[in-house]
Structure 1
Amino acid sequence: MVESKAIVVGYDGSEPAARAVRWAAKEAAQRKVPLHLVHCTLWPLLTKNLGPVPGIADSGLQHAAENTLQEGVEHANQAAPDVKVLTSLLNGSPRVHLPRISAGQEMLVLGSRGLGGFMGLLVGSVSLEMAATASCPVAVIKPGGDPDGPVMVAVHDPGATAALEDACTAAAAAGARLVIIHVRTVPAGYRLVRDPVDPGAAAEALLDSAVAKARELAPGLTVEKQFLTDTSVPRAILHAAQGARLTVVGTKGHGLVKGSIGSTAHAVLHHAKGPVLVSRRQPAAKAAHES
């Protein structure tokens, strides 16, 4: 019997991580899969004094780590009481453990930790690194969005179907509408009101093909399409995603730095209001080797 793939979520005790755990638990309930809650502690790498302080009950670094993990379980249970919760308390960096544990799983879910001021727009470094390197879809849970809104996915390449597949799965599990958008860029200063852009046969065919594929993947799903024009693809996606329950973007991993995501996914991750799912897949050769 093949075990269900789990939704893996990282928890570090912060409020953004708690938000991610609650979202992940509800998502696991909708998909009828287990939730695997992971807490990574660095203290064992820094000191051997992990035990309780003499004379002080419930003290010590190991106890604190165990309490943090249990706190995460409580967040999950409150959000989705019937979901099976697996737990892992690991010594070391989440950058090391999360890619290994989440490889080939349903998805990896992480919080987004802002840094205040202008830098508050930025996604935390661990979340951004996992979105660029993990071997499964990665959801970064940011505040905002509408839990009753549609799932929105941007399509750009007829051969890239991972994002569409992930969006269909999410929408079908939640019983939500699916909105498929395609953005055509126009030169800066283009007079869109006076000179509207004709989407053209290729763009229309791309959207129609995506709609047909979505209905094939999830029969009965309510699917809508939108053709957008803008001088910036990320800006158009972010504007369209206002009010979405989840925004799904693909990435070819063609960032300027090895292990980074493309510019569109990067911008959406940083500036979106609400959860973002970056569609990633385990390399075919590696998956075949491990199967």
Structure 2
Amino acid sequence: MGTAEEIIVGYDGSAEAVPAIRWAARQAAQRNCGLHLVHSSLWPAITHDLGPVPGVEGSGLRRAAEDVLTEGVARVNDAVPGLAVKTTLFYGWPAEHLRTLSTGAALVVVGTRGAGGFMGLLIGSVSLELAATADCPVVVVRDGEHAGGPVDVGVDFDDWELPLRHARTLAALAGAPLRVVHVRKNHWIPRPISDEGIQTRDQAEPRVQALLDSAARNAHETIPGLDLQIRSPIGTSIPGTLLAEAQDASVIVVGTRGRGLVRGTIGSVAHAVLHHASCPVMVVRRPTPDTP
């Protein structure tokens, strides 16, 4: 199992996974915690002959998998020279092993090889499955980070504290501004609250302001001096408006109540942000009543 002093990063040897290694290595250095580099080989699902080819030095599928880890360590050292890194080679579906390691870990960090038009594959199936099932926050990294940009966090009326807490940590570690964004949907119907229970915009505004005031107070009380920006844009699409606000962000933090690919989803907002963000995205899966 992982520990709270450990960041887990998955590496498959692809170019798309390199930004994840760099991001995870910098986080481990900033947090002064361990980095655990993991590679999971799928070859045993195809063949049991993992050994070397007779007479060919350095050959064999097991050796190839070990070489991926060696390359990953070199990538870590390129990003943060001298950073200690632990490695583990697994066999089987990567998401299963990373999900197991996520219990008690600080973060799980992965890249994305997603491509094509099938829903759920645009960011890569491993990334999506982990975002929906891991026990700790999952960061999906693309090579579009805006160094020094704000940390953006989307907040709503339901359990906003947990995403905000992780966003505060990221901002404080990076010395970056924290931008708190609540998107107001542009669909309020101008009828009294007593008429079929529909809110008017005037009745909604105090609730929005109370949410933003609470988030600002929470951030300032926890990290005095934090460069805090508050945004409350109006838009017809929550993820679209959130992404528009985050065009210069170094990372976007979103919460979800998702409970896994079978029992639930990661939610439409987190799903859309993961698909369309050009910078790293942290998905914070909020506990549900039947979650231990």
TM-score by length of 1: 0.88
Deviation, structure 1 residue 165? 0.5
The offset of 1:218, in angstroms, is 2.0
Partners of 1:105 and 1:44 lie apart in 2 by 27
- Greater shift, 212-221 or 118-127, is seen at 118-127
- The CA distance in 1 between the partners of 2:290 and 2:31, in whole Å, is 27
- Aligned: 1:241 with 2:246: yes
Q: 1:206 aligns with which of 207, 211, 217?
A: 211
Report 1:69-84 matches (<5 A).
Answer: 69-84=69-84
8 Å contact from structure 1 (residues 104, 282) kept in 2: no
Residue 242 of structure 2 is aligned to residue 228 of structure 1: no
Which of 249, 254, 268 pairs up with 2:273? Answer: 268
Q: Give the counterpart letter for 1:184 in structure 2.
A: R
Q: Using the alignment, how far apart are the partners of 2:4 and 2:33 within structure 1?
A: 6
**What secondary structure sits across from 1:27 in the alignment?**
helix
**What does residue 18 of structure 1 align with?**
18
Could you tell me which runs of 5 or more consecutive residues in structure 1 were left unpaired when the two chains were aligned: 189-196
Contact 2:116 2:122 in 1 (8 A): no
Change (3 A) 1:81 1:4: farther
Q: Identify the range of structure 1 (134-143 vs 215-224) with the bigger mean alpha-carbon deviation.
A: 215-224
SS in 2 for 1:69: helix
Partner SS for 2:72: helix
Q: Distance in 2 between matches of 1:128 and 1:82?
A: 32
Q: How does 1:20-39 map to 2 (within 5 A)?
A: 20-39=20-39
Taking the aligned partners of 1:34 and 1:283, their CA distance within structure 2 comes to: 29
Residue in 2 aligned with 1:193?
A: none
**Secondary structure in structure 1 of the residue aligned to 2:279:** coil
Amino acid of the residue matched to residue 85 of structure 1? V
- Inter-CA distance 201–282: structure 2 relative to 1 (3 Å threshold): closer
- 1:48 and 2:48 equivalent? yes
Identical amino acids, percent of aligned pairs: 51
CA contact (8 A) 1:152 1:167 kept: yes
* Mapping 1:40-189, distance limit 5 Å: 40-116=40-116, 122-157=122-157, 159-187=159-187
- Paired with 1:173 and 1:151, the residues of 2 have a C-alpha distance of 11
- Contact 2:5 2:105 (8 Å CA) reproduced: yes
| Residue 216 (1) aligns with residue 221 (2) | yes
> 1:107-156 CA distances to partner (integer Å, 9 max, x unpaired)?
10011113257989811011001000100000000232311101000110
Cα separation, partners in 2 of 1:257 and 1:284, compared to 1, 3 Å: closer
Q: Give, as a single letter, the amino acid of the residue that structure 1 aligns with 2:221.
A: E
Instruction: Quote the Cα distance in structure 1 between the aligned partners of 2:11 and 2:236.
Output: 38
State the secondary structure of the residue aligned to 1:225: strand
**Secondary structure at the counterpart of residue 67 of structure 2:** helix
With over 3 angstroms needed to count, the CA separation of the structure-2 counterparts of 1:179 and 1:22, relative to structure 1, is: same
Paired residues in the alignment total 278
Calculate the aligned-residue CA RMSD, in Å.
Answer: 2.5
Q: Which residue in 1 is equivalent to 2:191? A: none
Counterpart in the other structure of 1:252: 257
Q: Could you tell me which runs of 5 or more consecutive residues in structure 2 were left unpaired when the two chains were aligned.
A: 189-200
* 1:172–1:221 Cα contact (<8 Å) kept: yes
Change (3 A) 1:120 1:48: closer
Q: Distance in 2 between matches of 1:25 and 1:166?
A: 18
Q: For 1:81 and 1:283, locate their aligned partners in 2 and report how far apart those are by CA, in whole Å.
A: 40
